[in-house]
A = this chain, B = another copy of it.
Amino acid sequence: MRRLVQLLLAPPSRFARLLVAEKRLTCDCVAPENLAEHLPVFIDLDGTRCEGLWAIVDHLEGAYADHPLAPEDDEARRESLRLLDWAMGPFLENVTKRIVYERASQRYTGAAARRAPDMDTVRTGREALRAALATLGASAERNGYLTTRDCTLGDLAVAAHLSAIDYFGEVPWTEFPAAAEWYMRMKSRPSFRNLLADRVPGQPPVSHYADLDA
């Protein structure tokens, strides 16, 4: 069986889970023995071991080319990769860390959390999130998905972050209907099922988290 070593609320891990499922593959998701491990790690059937997103994306796109996740068109491809970099870079720093990493235990994100969330930090994260949702909504209205009419790497990377934030009910969907409509379509994809089944012990998701109509 394929294996993915990952953390429940860490967006790179969630992105890897989506990638594997979009490639129509199944894998065992296991927690790391040590929280300091470099994650996620994907181990394929033949023992091929990919550590980190660069290696995982490269391997999956090369070995399972039937369901490509990077657009062929040059411009769309650059935009999809821009979104991937943006999600795992600036968005992680400015939004996800300030909301999810403040509220979730290190056991599920890998990042040291404070004992009590710092509400000023959370507020700054929420502001940055609003700006991001406006931009994402505009892209989805223009393109269907964020970069093309299909779901690509960029959509999956951004959705990996938003799903972790949404777990805590921290996404103001009603204010951003275009982004909400796009995310609803992401949530309805079979690849999302695994994420929507997430339950962190002692910290259940908000009620709409796994609801495909809300």
Contacts and interface: CB of A to CB of B under 8 A. Distances in A.
Interface residues of A, number: 24
Contacts of A58: 70, 77-78, 81
Contacts of A55: 77-78, 81-82, 85
Contacts of A49: 78
A38 interface: yes
A78 B90 contact: no
A201 interface: no
Interface string A36-64: 10100000000011111111001100000
A64 to B, nearest CB: 14
Contacts of A38: 82, 85-86, 89-90
Copies of this protein in the complex: 2
Interface in A61-96: 70, 74, 77-78, 81-82, 84-86, 89-90
Contacts of A81: 50, 52, 54-55, 58
For A38, A54, A78, which residue has the most chain B Cβ atoms within 10 angstroms?
Answer: A54
A60 to B, nearest CB: 12
A84 B58 CA distance: 12
A51 B83 CA distance: 9
A55 B77 CA distance: 8
30 contacts: A12-B89, A36-B90, A38-B82, A38-B85, A38-B86, A38-B89, A48-B74, A49-B78, A50-B78, A50-B81, A50-B82, A51-B78, A51-B82, A51-B85, A52-B81, A52-B84, A52-B85, A52-B86, A52-B89, A54-B81, A54-B82, A54-B85, A55-B77, A55-B78, A55-B82, A55-B85, A58-B70, A58-B77, A58-B78, A59-B78
